[in-house]
Amino acid sequence: MTQLAYIGDELVGAIACRLELTPMKSAARLYLMTVGVYAPYRNGAIGTRLLRHALNEGSADSFIEDAYLHVHTPNTEAIAFYKRFGFVEDGVVNNYYKRLEPPDAVVLKLNLREWKVRPPNNTQRTRRHIPSSRSNP
Protein backbone atom coordinates (compact mmCIF):
# COMPACT_ATOMS: atom_id res chain seq x y z
CA MET A 1 0.00 0.00 0.00
CA THR A 2 1.25 3.44 -0.88
CA GLN A 3 -0.58 6.62 0.09
CA LEU A 4 0.47 10.06 -1.13
CA ALA A 5 -0.40 13.43 0.43
CA TYR A 6 -0.83 16.49 -1.73
CA ILE A 7 -1.49 20.12 -1.00
CA GLY A 8 -2.82 21.49 -4.23
CA ASP A 9 -0.67 19.88 -6.90
CA GLU A 10 2.40 19.62 -4.65
CA LEU A 11 3.40 16.24 -3.23
CA VAL A 12 4.16 16.87 0.46
CA GLY A 13 4.11 13.42 2.05
CA ALA A 14 3.93 9.68 1.53
CA ILE A 15 3.72 6.34 3.28
CA ALA A 16 4.60 2.98 1.77
CA CYS A 17 3.81 -0.36 3.43
CA ARG A 18 3.96 -4.03 2.57
CA LEU A 19 2.56 -7.20 4.09
CA GLU A 20 4.87 -9.92 5.33
CA LEU A 21 3.81 -13.38 6.44
CA THR A 22 4.83 -14.48 9.92
CA PRO A 23 7.27 -17.41 10.01
CA MET A 24 4.45 -19.89 10.70
CA LYS A 25 2.31 -18.24 7.97
CA SER A 26 -0.55 -18.01 10.45
CA ALA A 27 -0.78 -14.22 10.23
CA ALA A 28 0.69 -11.22 8.47
CA ARG A 29 2.59 -8.15 9.61
CA LEU A 30 2.29 -4.65 8.17
CA TYR A 31 5.80 -3.34 7.54
CA LEU A 32 6.02 0.44 7.27
CA MET A 33 8.81 0.80 4.71
CA THR A 34 8.85 4.58 4.62
CA VAL A 35 6.91 7.51 6.03
CA GLY A 36 7.91 11.01 5.10
CA VAL A 37 6.65 14.57 5.02
CA TYR A 38 8.45 17.38 3.22
CA ALA A 39 10.10 19.52 5.95
CA PRO A 40 8.10 22.77 5.46
CA TYR A 41 4.86 20.80 5.99
CA ARG A 42 5.81 18.92 9.14
CA ASN A 43 3.77 19.58 12.28
CA GLY A 44 0.71 20.08 10.11
CA ALA A 45 -0.76 16.62 10.86
CA ILE A 46 0.07 15.19 7.42
CA GLY A 47 2.22 12.39 8.87
CA THR A 48 -0.46 11.68 11.46
CA ARG A 49 -3.12 11.33 8.78
CA LEU A 50 -0.95 9.09 6.61
CA LEU A 51 -0.02 6.82 9.51
CA ARG A 52 -3.58 6.63 10.87
CA HIS A 53 -4.86 5.68 7.42
CA ALA A 54 -2.33 2.84 7.14
CA LEU A 55 -3.00 1.58 10.67
CA ASN A 56 -6.77 1.77 10.15
CA GLU A 57 -6.49 -0.21 6.91
CA GLY A 58 -4.20 -2.79 8.49
CA SER A 59 -6.36 -3.25 11.56
CA ALA A 60 -9.44 -3.85 9.39
CA ASP A 61 -7.93 -7.15 8.24
CA SER A 62 -8.00 -9.71 11.06
CA PHE A 63 -5.16 -11.66 9.40
CA ILE A 64 -2.76 -8.76 10.09
CA GLU A 65 -1.53 -8.98 13.67
CA ASP A 66 0.83 -6.03 14.00
CA ALA A 67 2.66 -3.17 12.33
CA TYR A 68 6.36 -2.52 12.63
CA LEU A 69 9.14 -0.33 11.28
CA HIS A 70 12.81 0.54 11.68
CA VAL A 71 13.94 3.99 12.82
CA HIS A 72 17.49 5.32 12.90
CA THR A 73 18.50 5.22 16.58
CA PRO A 74 19.40 8.93 16.90
CA ASN A 75 16.07 10.02 15.37
CA THR A 76 14.38 10.67 18.70
CA GLU A 77 11.74 12.91 17.10
CA ALA A 78 10.51 10.06 14.87
CA ILE A 79 10.63 7.55 17.73
CA ALA A 80 8.51 9.87 19.88
CA PHE A 81 6.06 10.36 16.96
CA TYR A 82 5.45 6.61 16.64
CA LYS A 83 5.21 6.12 20.40
CA ARG A 84 2.32 8.61 20.46
CA PHE A 85 0.41 6.03 18.39
CA GLY A 86 1.20 3.24 20.84
CA PHE A 87 4.28 1.77 19.15
CA VAL A 88 6.73 0.18 21.57
CA GLU A 89 10.42 -0.53 21.16
CA ASP A 90 11.08 -4.14 20.19
CA GLY A 91 14.85 -4.25 20.03
CA VAL A 92 17.70 -2.76 18.04
CA VAL A 93 19.14 -4.07 14.77
CA ASN A 94 22.86 -3.40 14.66
CA ASN A 95 24.35 -2.35 11.32
CA TYR A 96 20.92 -1.99 9.70
CA TYR A 97 21.87 1.08 7.66
CA LYS A 98 24.74 1.08 5.19
CA ARG A 99 25.20 4.85 4.78
CA LEU A 100 24.24 6.27 8.17
CA GLU A 101 26.21 6.70 11.37
CA PRO A 102 25.54 5.11 13.68
CA PRO A 103 24.25 2.32 11.42
CA ASP A 104 21.73 0.96 13.97
CA ALA A 105 17.93 0.97 13.88
CA VAL A 106 15.39 0.62 16.64
CA VAL A 107 12.45 -1.65 15.81
CA LEU A 108 9.06 -0.22 16.78
CA LYS A 109 6.00 -2.45 16.92
CA LEU A 110 2.24 -1.92 17.35
CA ASN A 111 -0.34 -4.63 18.01
CA LEU A 112 -2.98 -3.94 15.34
CA ARG A 113 -5.49 -6.25 16.98
CA GLU A 114 -5.64 -3.73 19.83
CA TRP A 115 -5.60 -0.63 17.59
CA LYS A 116 -8.73 1.48 17.91
CA VAL A 117 -9.70 2.83 14.50
CA ARG A 118 -9.45 6.62 14.40
CA PRO A 119 -10.55 8.92 11.62
CA PRO A 120 -7.43 10.02 9.70
CA ASN A 121 -8.48 13.67 9.89
CA ASN A 122 -9.22 13.67 13.63
CA THR A 123 -6.24 15.64 14.88
CA GLN A 124 -5.57 17.79 17.92
CA ARG A 125 -3.80 20.43 15.88
CA THR A 126 -5.44 23.19 13.95
CA ARG A 127 -4.83 23.37 10.24
CA ARG A 128 -2.59 26.12 9.04
CA HIS A 129 -1.79 27.48 5.63
CA ILE A 130 1.83 27.18 4.60
CA PRO A 131 2.66 29.25 1.54
CA SER A 132 4.39 27.43 -1.26
CA SER A 133 7.92 28.44 -2.16
CA ARG A 134 7.06 28.00 -5.83
CA SER A 135 6.22 31.05 -7.86
CA ASN A 136 2.92 30.94 -9.70
CA PRO A 137 2.93 32.17 -13.30
The verdict on whether 70 is a catalytic residue reads: yes
Q: Could you write out the DSSP letters of every residue in 30-66? A: EEEEEEEE-GGGTTSSHHHHHHHHHHHHHHTSTTEEE
Q: Rounded CA gap, 99 and 40, in Å? A: 25
Q: Rounded CA gap, 23 and 27, in Å? A: 9
Catalytic residue among 68, 70, 96, 97: 70
The verdict on whether 72 is a catalytic residue reads: no
Compute CA 41 distance to the chain's CA centroid, rounded to the nearest angstrom. 15
Which residues are catalytically annotated? 31, 70
